[in-house]
Amino acid sequence: MSEASVFPPAAPPPRRVEPGLYLVATPIGNLRDMTLRALDVLAAADLVLAEDTRVTAKLLSAYGLKARLERCDDHASGRAAEQAIERLREGQVVALVSDAGTPLVSDPGFVVARAVIAEGLPVHPIPGASSLLAALCIAGLPADRVLFAGFLPPKTAGRTAALEALKGQRQTLVFFESGPRLKDSLTDMAAVLGPRPAAVARELTKLYEECVRGPLDELAVDPRLDAPKGEIVVVVGPGEEIQATEADADAALIDALQTLSTGDAASEVAKALGLNRKTLYRRALELKGK
């Protein structure tokens, strides 16, 4: 097996980093997942807004970088937004990072990005590591239509209600979860969503990376998933398509005909239930004649 190269033998030359707010993705575990462009931005930044300045200081140190760091967690995002806008108006470069992965994806930073956008100032994404995308890649489940649901509520009642609201979705669902809550979450998912195929990915890109796949009801009792350590992503496959019955179609048509023409009602119901429009149009005429 050949040894990995220390550095690419050739790489595109760096470009000048223009003033603006840069949302910089950082490694989720493996430090070599830092992109060259992210390093360019952090090296040029006049200010780096960080979820935890201690974590980001270690990251910068690993690459021999130094930068002015300011906190930007849930409690400090308002002040961070003011600082960012002030610096950007002066023509400076501001970078925003979370502790790991892509900023704003279940991480602080939205308040800053929204405020900067509202002021008409430039905002640029610097893509890179993402636990959401990494988990989707290795889950072995459909990834053409995906709904990211973030963290579920911590208590069973709230978690069950949230899952009930997602039950009818026909996309693959993605959740973030913590180790201590994983078993309870999987149990509630199995109870509400049924034995859908799923995957639990943890420690992505790290030494003990693991992906456990199987039906939700089996994963809920798998001893490997009893309070594991590390950051966790749960990917749940879409539910089976349920064919609408004639009674369902009639009920939907009757409701739609209250406010729509016969043709529009047939079109709306056909789209919603996945049924033939011509058949529904004829049925709508019959219902109107009753």
- Rounded to an integer, the average pLDDT of 56-62 is 97
Q: Which of 2-11, 202-211, 230-239 has the lowest mean pLDDT?
A: 2-11
Q: What mean pLDDT do residues 233-242 have?
A: 85
pLDDT of 2 > 70? The answer is no
The answer to whether residues 129 and 25 touch, using CB atoms and an 8 Å cutoff, is yes
Average pLDDT over residues 105-132: 95
Please report the DSSP string for 133-146 in residue order: HHHHHHH-S--SSE
Residue 287: the pLDDT is: 87
Q: Give the mean pLDDT of 243-265.
A: 87
What is the pLDDT, as a whole number, of residue 168? Answer: 84
pLDDT digits (tens, 9 = 90+) for 131-163: 999 999 999 999 999 999 999 999 999 999 999
Q: Per residue in 34-43, pLDDT tens?
A: 999 999 999 9
- Amino acid at the residue 155: K
SS3 track for 191-249: HHHCCCEEEEEECCCCCCCEEEEEEHHHHCCCHHHCCCCCCEEEEECCCCCCCCCHHHH
